[in-house]
Amino acid sequence: MSTSSRPFASAPLRATGLLAAALFAQACSSPSTPATDASGTTAATDSTQATAPVAPANSPLQVVAQFREPQMVGVAVLPDGRVFADFPRWDNNPVNPIAEVMPDGSVKGYPDADWCAWNETVKNEPQKHWICPQSVHADKTGMLWVLDPASPGIKGTVPGGPKLVKIDPKTDKVVQNISIPESVASRKSYLNDVRIDTQNQYAYITESGVGSLVVVDLKSGKARKLLAGHSSMMGDTTLNIKADGKELIDATGKRAQFNADGIALSQDMQYLYWKPLTSYTLFRIKTEALRNPALTDAQLAAQIEDLGKVPASDGMEIDAQNNLYLSAFEDHSIKRRTPAGKIETVVQDPRLEWPDTFAFSGDGKMLYVTTSAIHKTATWNKGIGQQDQPYYIFKMALK
């Protein structure tokens, strides 16, 4: 979610699950070793078993890591090659909601076990623990950022919980912790994905629950909610968007509506791109406008550019040549939109079961992507999980 992805929205979204009692359980399940569950044994999920997709002979995708439950959505890669992943508290209570992925594929809670704990004993310290982290992102200076919408099971935010946290990987210590107030991240909000403007010291965030952008002045810590409910923020339920050829319809018969989700910042940090997940339209705006608190939503809306049709996608990212990558879940592919607006298929592989969030290697030559199989979760399958393969982190060389 983007990523991304990914609820009310993105990468998101396993809207069922996580009862209150489960939230405060010490540990339900957590990734421990590749393709294993929390107990260390292989396979067995609650899914209806099916033949897992097989890699095409010519696929450029390389497996970096793979996990059984709990579900993974996001990935970040530092300039030195360290890899991080996030496991939101949607249907499970992962031991390591933010984790460093070690070279052998195992995971280590990050930045420490205390931050990863969320249970009855720490519930009065919502700003000091990962509640339901949705995005982990490395900025251009090598700092690591974690966006926590603090909405377990996407059931509503924990008061005082929504936050944007900066970690210095050199010391593995939190160096900035910005609380997002309820006036910006309401109880129905779901902060989804973030990009950091290191030039102007701002953070830009998609918010999928209400459908808005959140802009944070990193120097002052002040956050503003912008364009809430604007058409560019809202998913469209009339498009019959599918995954694996099947429409996303929940147990009540309601079509999926995933709002503002994928987000990307141009290389010169002058433009912010975004799109709702259930949408075929890409939008952008000048970041200068977003940083101007004097502009009203109506004035901002007048500056939004409709860039036309793109695939339905979850995560987005921009490379050094300003090609925009989109995780196109409808056909198990990664697409690329060139600066001229041409849509190209970068890779198509059946293992890309809901490609979700992107990250680039430090030198920009490798593209990383997660798979979150959102369409296989119980929410979209009459209460029965259909997940039949691990959640993956892939990487591929860019041409």
Structure tokens at 155: 């059931």
Closest CA to 16 of 391, 388, 381: 381
Closest CA to 60 of 382, 310, 368: 368
pLDDT average, residue stretch 99-107: 95
pLDDT class for 379, splitting at 50, 70, 90?
confident
Q: Residue 50: its pLDDT value, please?
A: 57
225: which strand partners? 214
DSSP states along 130-193: -SS--EEEE-TTS-EEEEE---GGGS-PPTT--EEEEEETTTTEEEEEEE--TTTS-TT--EEE
Of 84-93, 146-155, 192-201, the one with minimum mean pLDDT is 84-93
pLDDT average, residue stretch 234-254: 88
Contacts of 294 (CB under 8 A, 6+ apart): none
Domain 20-37+69-397: CATH superfamily is TolB, C-terminal domain (2.120.10.30)
- Rg for the chain (alpha carbons), in Å? 19
pLDDT class for 202, splitting at 50, 70, 90?
very high
Q: Bigger pLDDT: 292 or 240? A: 292
Q: List pLDDT tens digits, range 325-357.
A: 999 999 999 999 999 999 999 999 999 999 999
Is the per-residue pLDDT at 9 higher than 50? no
SS3 of the chain: helix, strand, coil, percent, to 5: 10, 35, 55
Q: Residue 388: its pLDDT value, please?
A: 78
Is the per-residue pLDDT at 17 higher than 60? no
Of 42-56, 76-90, 226-240, the one with minimum mean pLDDT is 42-56
| Element at 124 (helix H, strand E) | none
Q: Residue 6: its pLDDT value, please?
A: 35
63: which strand partners? 394
- Output the average pLDDT for the chain: 88
pLDDT class for 37, splitting at 50, 70, 90?
very low
Is the per-residue pLDDT at 278 higher than 60? yes
